[in-house]
Amino acid sequence: MRGEKMDWKKSTILITGGTGSFGRKFVEIMLNKYKPRKLIVFSRDEFKQHQMRLEFSSNRLRFFVGDVRDGSRLRRALSGVDLVVHAAALKQIPSCEYNPFEAVMTNIFGAKNVIDACIDCGVKKIMALSSDKAVSPSNLYGATKLCAEKIFVQGNAYVGRASTRFSCVRYGNVIGSRGSVVEVFQKQKPQGVLTITDPRMTRFWIGLEQGVEFVIHCIEEMKGGEIFVPKLPSMKTIDLAKAIAPECKIKYTGIRPGEKLRETLITEDESRHAVELSDSFIIEPENPVWDYKPRKKGRRLAEGFSYSSDINDEWISPGAIRKMAAKL
C-alpha cells in the first residue's frame, strides 16, 4: 500500500477524535466521495457521536466510544482496520497550559498508544494530524505536538518486518473550526468590539475541506516517516477581524503567554531534508532505519529556506477575506 493509490471502497478506516471539526468533515467527504467499506468514529464524547449518527445515516459508519489514553480499547477498535487517521488531541492552548498533565497524557501518551495498537493490530497506514504550533514551540500544546510528530515518525522503526507505516500532516489555522479566532470574533461582534493581541500577528490559514482533501492525498502518497506540509496563504489577524466585522472597534490586549507573532511550518534545519512540490512540501525522515527511499520528484530547497507566515509569498487578498467571512 505504500505510495500506491488507495482502493478506498475496500478499505476499513478509523479516525480518532472523529467528532471534532476535522473528523466531521472527514466523515462527510469520505462517505459522499470515497465510499469506504467501513468508517469508524473513535472518540470519547457519546453525545457528539449520537448527533453524528443522526446526521450521517449510512450503514458504512460505525461508532466506538473510547479514549486514546486507553490502549486496550484502541486495540479492540482497530480489529480489521486498514487505515487510521489520528486527529484526537487536546488543542486549546490556555487549557493545555492550565492542565499540563492532561495535555501530555492525551497528546503524547495517547499518540504512543495509537502507535502500539496499530502495530499490534497490523494496520497498514496511519496518518497523524499535527500543527504549525509544533514548530519551535512556545507553549505546552505545541511541545506535545512536537513530541507526537517525533514518535510517529520514529514509530516506523518499531514496526520490524510488518508493513505498518506512519506519517504526519502539518498545517496552519483551520478557518471556521471550533475554538478558532474566527469563532471568537463572531461571538464578540454583537458587542461592537473585537479583541486582538497584536496588529503585527500573522497566521497560515487553510479551509476545513481543503485540509481533509490534503490529508487524503497524503495518505495515498505516503511511504512512512514523512511530514507533509501544504502551501498555504498567510493573513494578518487584524485583516481577518476587519473582514468579519468592519463596523467594530479593535481593542489590543497584548500578546498572551506562549503566543507568537508569526507561525512557521518548516524550519531552516528541516528544509535541508525536504522537497518542494507544486502545492506542498514534504519533510523526509532525516535518518530512517526502516526501508525508506528518498523521493526523486520534487526539488530540493535552497540553503537557509524557512516557511513562515510573515515572509510568505502568498497572502489572502482583502476581497477573498470578505468572501470567506461571508460564508462563516
Confidence of residue 84 (pLDDT cuts 50, 70, 90): very high
Alpha-carbon distance of 310 to 121, in angstroms, equals 43
Q: Is residue 104 part of a domain?
A: yes
68: CATH: 3.40.50.720
Q: How many domains is the chain partitioned into structurally?
A: 1
Indicate whether 161 belongs to any domain: yes
pLDDT exceeds cutoff 70 at 1: no
C-alpha cell at 224: 512512512
Catalytic residues, by residue number, are 133
Please determine, for residue 2, whether its predicted confidence score (pLDDT) is greater than 60: no
**Predicted local confidence at residue 71, as pLDDT:** 97
Give just the sign of the alpha carbon dihedral 153, 158, 162, 164: negative
Residues 104-117: what's their mean pLDDT? Answer: 98
Position 196 in a domain: no
- Examine residue 137 and state whether it is found in any structural domain, yes or no: yes
What percent of the chain is modeled with pLDDT above 90? 80
Q: What pLDDT is recorded for position 328?
A: 62
Instruction: Give CA angle at 302 (301, 304), nearest 5°.
Output: 110
Q: How confident is the model at residue 225 (pLDDT cuts 50, 70, 90)?
A: very high
pLDDT at 300 over 90: yes
Average pLDDT, the chain: 93
Model pLDDT for residues 191-219, shown as the tens digit of each residue: 999 999 999 999 999 989 999 999 999 99
Query: At residue 269, does pLDDT exceed 60?
Result: yes
Q: Is 263 helix (H, G, I), strand (E, B) or coil?
A: coil
pLDDT tens per residue across span 7-47: 999 999 999 999 999 999 999 999 999 999 999 999 999 99
Q: What is the C-alpha separation between 13 and 323, in angstroms, rounded?
A: 34
Q: Has residue 325 been placed in a domain?
A: no
> What pLDDT score does 259 carry?
87
Cα angle: 249, vertex 247, 206; to 5 degrees:
90
Residue 81 has pLDDT above 80, yes or no: yes
Q: Identify the pLDDT of residue 180.
A: 74
- Whole-number pLDDT of residue 176: 67
Q: Over range 281-306, report the average pLDDT.
A: 93
Residue 327 scores a pLDDT above 80 = no
**Can you give the pLDDT at residue 317?**
80
Distance separating alpha carbons of residues 150 and 92, to the nearest angstrom: 21
- Extract the C-alpha cell encoding 172: 496552519
Q: Could you read off the pLDDT of 160-195 as tens digits, one per residue?
A: 888 999 999 999 988 867 767 877 888 899 999 999
**What's the domain range around 287?**
8-172+207-231+265-307
The C-alpha atoms of residue 24 and residue 40 are separated, in whole angstroms, by: 12
Q: Are 196 and 156 in contact (CB under 8 A)?
A: no
| Within-domain flag for 281 | yes
Q: Which residue has the cell 528544509?
A: 271
Q: Is residue 318 part of a domain?
A: no
Least confident of 29-43, 100-114, 230-244: 230-244
The structure's pTM equals: 0.94
Cell of 226: 514523512
56 lies in some domain: yes
